[in-house]
Amino acid sequence: MENRAPSYWLTRFMILRLLGLVYAVAFLIAINQLVPLIGSKGLLPADLYLKQVSTALGSIGAGFIRLPSLFWFWHSDTALLMAAWTGFILSVIVVSGYANAPLLGILWFIYLSIVHIGQDWYGYGWEIQLTETGFLAIFLSPLWDLRPFPNRPPPVLIIILFRWLIFRIMFGAGLIKFRGDATWRNATALYYYFETQPIPGPLTRWFHFLPHALLRIGVWFNWLAELVAPWFIWWPRLSRHIAGSIIVLFQFAIILSGNLSFLNWLTIIPALACFDDSFWSKFLPGKLVRKSEAAASKAEESKHMQVTVWVVTSLVVLLSLQPALNMLSPNQVMNTSFDPLDLVNTYGAFGSVGQERLNVVFEGTMEDTLNNKAHWKSYIYKGLPVLLNKRPPQIAPYQLRLDWQMWFASMSTAEQYPWTYNLVWKLLHNDPEAVDLFANNPFPKKPPRYIRAVLYRYRFAGNGNPQGQYWTRERIGDWMPVLTADNKQLVAFLRGQRWLP
């Protein structure tokens, strides 16, 4: 058995099922958040964005070539929801075990269409990582056969391309850390990472207060997973299985320690290409293994599929030149696409680690006058910390896109995130879609008279503190001045941005 050429029937089954699950989560996020974020009355309306792009490039056709998207032709709120729901339904079909090239191709282009009009909300590395992963998956399946174990064998070249993807993801992430921050090089990054990461999870505080010796070991494990293990995915079976196991274990450790959207689940997908059927047969149910063996015994090669695979492989090799050069460059950038279809990209995460946690909290009041006695009520985020006694929730693999952007915004100014003024305007009018982006509406009956945004510094409270708090915080100052619905400067600014008529 050990001397036979590796087969990948069960590998394909696992890759496609997990990809379907990630797609389902991604489209569920879109169903819930696209309209308030980029809808016709959203914080960054897609209609305005598409007009700006077409004007800058000279025409709608030029815009489509630069940013291919279904929404160049129809981008109403109904169109956004129809696309998201279509993607979600097709994703569930893939999760249930049925997939072929057209189905996966539709999923890929719908999600690519969303990413290309998503603006700030879809500017994360895992968005283009999902489009690249989804593109490769199209050619892992036969043209028409939807069955979990079709009569076409998994193309080995596509399995190799998945390994090339996980190599770039992991090695690129390791290089960006090594080059980007001394705390990674001296193994102290985890002293700060858990407290300062975008959205902490239920176990994040526990990780933060681990002994420093264990946190240093965690950094060394990071180096093992990102800089060492990727090289061994090209080695023979045993080395490849060990390397893949280290990478997957590393992803699960990150999943436990915080809320990084669906990034880590998505990263596991190409890592599964490190394992062949000899590995999966030891862990998967015997019935599933027997089905894969029966399919393999009746498999027929398709010349058309083989030619297509070679064309795709040649294209990926050609498009890999810039990402490979970027990894080798001392000016390495992360999470960047080099082609309009986001087919072969460069990745990386947490190239630098902040050493303090800043957080912007929106607060409103009904008071007629502003003084030290004014009672301000906070808008509670669904994920970011606000209340000191609230345990961080489990959000991932779901993503709260407003919360993520506010994590970035807290390290900048309101002027660098102008849509925050649009958000405040909507809160001043109790806009239901905007308010729904938060966990609560502190003014359910009547909108507040005033709203401000305050910048706080948050720290984890020590375990077993008498107040039972998860956080402590100190006020740094106003992040945005006090605003009202009749503020002439605010109205003029919003009209200048074309967010108001």
CA distance 336 to 332: 10
Of 436, 434, 431, 419, nearest to 498 (Cα)?
419
State the pLDDT at residue 2. Answer: 46
Q: How far apart are the first and last CA of the chain?
A: 71
What residues form DSSP beta bridges with 460?
471
Residue corresponding to tokens 């309209």: 35
Distance of alpha carbon 129 from alpha carbon 132, whole angstroms: 5
pLDDT in tens, 428-438: 999 999 999 99
**Model confidence pLDDT, tens digit, residues 201-241:** 999 999 999 999 999 999 999 999 999 999 999 999 999 99
Which one of 4-13, 97-106, 341-350 scores highest in mean pLDDT? 97-106
Question: For residues 95 and 18, is the Cβ–Cβ distance under 8 A?
Answer: no
Tell me, what's the pLDDT at 3?
A: 57
Instruction: Output the six-digit token pair for 157.
Output: 């070249």
* Residues 6 or more apart in contact with residue 422 via CB below 8 angstroms: 43, 44, 494, 497, 499
CB 133 within 8 A of CB 269: yes
Q: Taking a C-beta distance cutoff of 8 angstroms, is the pair 306, 318 a contact?
A: no
| DSSP tag of 284 | S
Whole-number pLDDT of residue 395: 96
Q: What is d(CA 455, CA 413) in angstroms, rounded to the nearest whole number?
A: 10
Split at pLDDT 50, 70, 90, the class of 466 is confident
Query: Closest Cα to residue 29, out of 100, 95, 109, 88?
Result: 88
> What pLDDT was estimated at residue 374?
83
Q: Are 86 and 385 in contact (CB under 8 A)?
A: no
Tokens 């990413």, located at residue: 115
How far apart are the C-alpha atoms of 146 and 364, rounded to whole Å? 54
Q: Is the dihedral of CA 80, 85, 91, 93 positive or negative?
A: negative
Q: Which residues pair with 248 in a beta bridge?
A: none
Averaged pLDDT, 338-361:
93
Task: Compute the distance between CA of residue 111 and CA of residue 138 in angstroms, rounded to an integer.
Answer: 14
Structure-token match 């502003």, residue found: 370
Q: Average pLDDT, whole number, for the chain?
A: 95
What is the per-residue pLDDT for 179? 92
Q: How big is the chain, counted in residues?
A: 501
Q: Amino acid identity of 17?
A: R
How far is CA 113 from its chain centroid?
16
Which contiguous run of DSSP H or E holds residue 450?
Answer: strand 450-460
Determine contact, residues 145/100, Cβ cutoff 8 Å: yes
Closest C-alpha to 436, from 25, 39, 26, 86: 39
Amino acid at 483: L
User: How far is residue 430 from each of residues 4, 55, 377, 382, 401, measured CA to CA in Å?
Assistant: 66, 33, 14, 17, 20
CB of 94 within 8 A of CB of 19?
yes
- Whether residue 285 is preceded by a cis peptide bond, meaning omega within 30 degrees of 0, is no
CA distances to 34, 53, 113 from 47, in Å: 13, 10, 14
Query: How far is it, in rounded angstroms, from Cα 259 to Cα 344?
Result: 26
Q: Which residue has the tokens 């792009």?
A: 53
**CB of 411 within 8 A of CB of 438?**
no
**DSSP structure class, residue 484:** -
Q: Is the CB of residue 288 less than 8 Å from the CB of residue 24?
A: no
Span 173-197, average pLDDT: 94
- Closest by CA position to 130, among listed 311, 269, 333: 269
Residue 47 reports pLDDT greater than 80: yes
pLDDT at residue 4 tops 80: no
Indicate the pLDDT class of residue 1, thresholds 50, 70 and 90: very low
